[in-house]
Amino acid sequence: MTDSDPTSSDGDDGEAGDAFTLSTFHEICQREGRPVLTAAAIASGLEVSQEGASERLSALVDRGEVERLSVSTDPVVWYPSELEDLTDRERVVIFPKRREIVVDRPDQFTRAQLSQFAHLADTNGESGYRYVVRAEDVWQAPHDSFDDLQRTMRQALGQRSEALEEWVESQWDRARQFTLRTHPDGYTVLEARSAEVMGNVARQKLEEEHVHAPISDTEDWVREGSEAAIKRILYEAGYPVQDERDLEGGDELPMDLHVRLRDYQQTWVDRFAEAGEGVFVGPPGSGKTVAAMGAMAHVEGETLILVPSRDLARQWADTLLEHTTLEADQIGQYHGGVKEVRPVTVATYQIAGMDRHRSLFDDREWGLVVFDEVHHVPSDVYRRSTHLQSRHRLGLSASPIREDDRQVEIFTLVGPPIGTDWEALFEAGFVAEPELEIRYVPWGEDEQANEYGSAEGRERYQIAAMNRGKIAETRYLLSAHPAAKALVFVDYLEQGREFADALDAPFVSGETPHHRRRQLLEEFRRDERDLLVISRVGDEGIDLPTADLAIIASGLGGSRRQGTQRAGRTMRPAGGALVYVLATRGTREEDFARRQLQHLGRKGMTVTEETVERSTDSDSDSDSDSDSSDE
């Protein structure tokens, strides 16, 4: 547009000048799809003369809000002053319809605020984060009122989003439609906020096995023992239940910790204290067990701790003695090896769920029940233990995801997730981020390759998993890191024995006697051994010592949680840890490996890939020719 454009006048320019701000400049940038503009583009956007546009731009320059730059293709371009340091600044973009929030370079405060109402769905491992606001995130937000939650949202986003806030408020309201409470006569009542929601939701979903009869238009008499089922059914219908029953807290049990909680651990405990229930979610090495002891110290009531194996029961008992003021005669274990019920009892899920033992736990009033490795709870065997009622319930898990997508049951049966995003712990130095690398290994024997080609289904997967070329590749990796303490994970007993013989290392499996298993792990922990081959028993049934190097030789068809557990064996405050995942080239193991580690990539870890070209028939230590790319 030129000075002689008949659509412009001095008067019009003056009115436009009064309204021209940095915000208007940004709007025109968005329309043009460019971060820098010419005066002609501004003139067109404002429908003023180019001279008038230049005057307005000069006014912004005088206020320090934009800069001008002469370039060869145009006399002058203009850009916001903030663009000079834009790469170092936090930026938030909201997509209200998708309920997504994309944040570039968020600071620690922003991430902490976002974690209170949004789920970290993805990160590029550098500066970009994608959050999704799900219904369950709003239901579980640690706030007493919607106004408090709204304030947190605005602090995190740095702006208001009317559409997103409206949806969040509707979910906040849904989470407060139903309440379980104790009637003065001692039985449990399900109460709805209105007769409409009681009739249209609860009485449509619940059966006679759940409730006896209506007490009023908004109240139903609950059958004893069906509380957990009611909570699960209504949660799945989109209406989480507030549990305000007057549950017994058991006898008092004063205790203190010998260790100081880290700031994020104290935050976990504080959030648990507010809700009375929850699941501590954090990477291996983040101190979930110690945080659980902090929760025990808050409750100060008799506590039942449920674990998957007797080895973990022993380790819990030892850790309680080491880190708390509890005495040995206050801590009992209840499993196949010993049966003691004491003020703090550590029992296996299997024992607690057996009919002949359940009365021992039912008859005692627990102030707190702790579900270690809580991702097991939805399974048919383990969930029988969730009938145990207590005033407080706490779960622990590095990764509560399940391949059957039944993790929702974890949060209805135990409590909402409480955690800190993994990358924040990496950045703060509390947990070391291991280097993860997938190595695509060629077949070690033509015979195995031929067997794979003619096999089908599960047999095909097993042949690829047991590729003997992985033994030579493991030797190569161990020789490349001669000073490292290493754990080699396998999924099959036969393969474990082959690796143990080839590497001259002990094989720890479910067949290893408990006393021998403890001896080997303790020797590794004391640096008397630097290499162990571990079966699936190492995924969570035992507390493995920390390693510098983890080599996952098989098990890639397992769950994402298994990948998390195995990679997590290197996650401790000391840095420099390495995780190598061996996948047979040209087989489905390639896809399995990517799927397992993609979950860790979304948590902020960097995952790389290497294609091994070196022949694995020999024990050559020569370096590999490889293709590398970031995932």
Q: Domain coordinates of the chain in residue numbers?
A: 10-85, 90-174, 178-244, 263-421, 432-630
Per DSSP, the chain holds a count of helices (H) and strands (E) of 25, 26
Q: Give 394-405 pLDDT, tens digit per residue.
A: 999 876 554 344
pLDDT for position 423: 66
pLDDT for position 609: 87
List the one residue out of 290, 366, 352, 346 whose CA is nearest residue 323: 290
* Same fold yes or no, 263-421 and 432-630: yes
Confidence of residue 321 (pLDDT cuts 50, 70, 90): very high
Q: How many residues does the chain have?
A: 631
Residue 582 pLDDT > 70, yes or no?
yes
pLDDT for position 1: 37
What number is the average pLDDT over the span 309-315?
86
DSSP string, 478-544: HHHSTT--EEEE-S-HHHHHHHHHHHT--EE-TTS-HHHHHHHHHHHHTTS--EEEE-GGGTTTS-P
What number is the average pLDDT over the span 222-245?
87
**What percent of the chain lies above the pLDDT cut of 70?**
74
Which of 284-293, 430-439, 615-624 is the least confident region? 615-624
Q: Across the chain, what does the average pLDDT equal?
A: 79
Residue 263, both tokens: 């700031």
Which of 316-330, 444-458, 606-620 is the least confident region? 606-620
Residue 480 pLDDT > 70, yes or no?
yes
The more confident residue out of 316 and 366 is: 316
List the one residue out of 286, 288, 289, 282 whose CA is nearest residue 120: 282
Q: What is the CATH number of domain 263-421?
A: 3.40.50.300
What number is the average pLDDT over the span 418-441?
73
pLDDT for position 535: 87
Q: CA–CA distance from 128 to each of 59, 83, 120 (Å)?
A: 34, 18, 11
Confidence of residue 251 (pLDDT cuts 50, 70, 90): confident
Task: Please determine, looking at this structure, whether the domain spanning 432-630 carries the CATH number 3.40.50.300.
Answer: yes
The more confident residue out of 450 and 351 is: 450
Hey, which bits of 30-160 come out as E strands?
Answer: 66-71, 74-80, 91-95, 100-104, 119-123, 128-132
Q: In what order do the strands lie in the sheet with 119-123?
A: 91-95, 100-104, 128-132, 119-123
Question: Domain spanning 10-85: which CATH class is it, in words?
Answer: mainly alpha
Q: Which distant-in-sequence residues (6+ apart) come within 8 Å of 573 by Cβ?
A: 285, 429, 430, 431, 432
- Rg, the chain, Cα only: 30
What is the DSSP code (8-state) at residue 278? E
Q: Give 514-537 pLDDT, tens digit per residue.
A: 889 889 988 988 889 999 999 876
Instruction: State which amino acid sits at residue 343.
Output: P
Q: Give 163-182 pLDDT, tens digit per residue.
A: 999 999 999 999 999 999 99
The 10 Å CB-count burial string (b at 16+, else e) for 553-590 is bbbbbbbbbbbbbbbbbbbbeeeebbbbbbbbbebebb
pLDDT for position 627: 40
pLDDT for position 225: 80
DSSP string, 595-617: HHHHHHHTTT--EEEEE--S-SS
Residue 129 backbone phi and psi in degrees, to 5: -135, 140
Is residue 189 helix, strand or coil?
A: strand
Q: In what helix (H) or strand (E) does residue 469 lie, and over which residues does it extend?
A: helix 469-480
Q: Which distant-in-sequence residues (6+ apart) come within 8 Å of 46 by Cβ?
A: 16, 20, 24, 28, 52, 53, 56
pLDDT for position 458: 83
Q: Please tell me the pTM assigned to this model.
A: 0.59
Q: Give 184-215 pLDDT, tens digit per residue.
A: 998 999 999 999 999 999 999 999 999 998 99
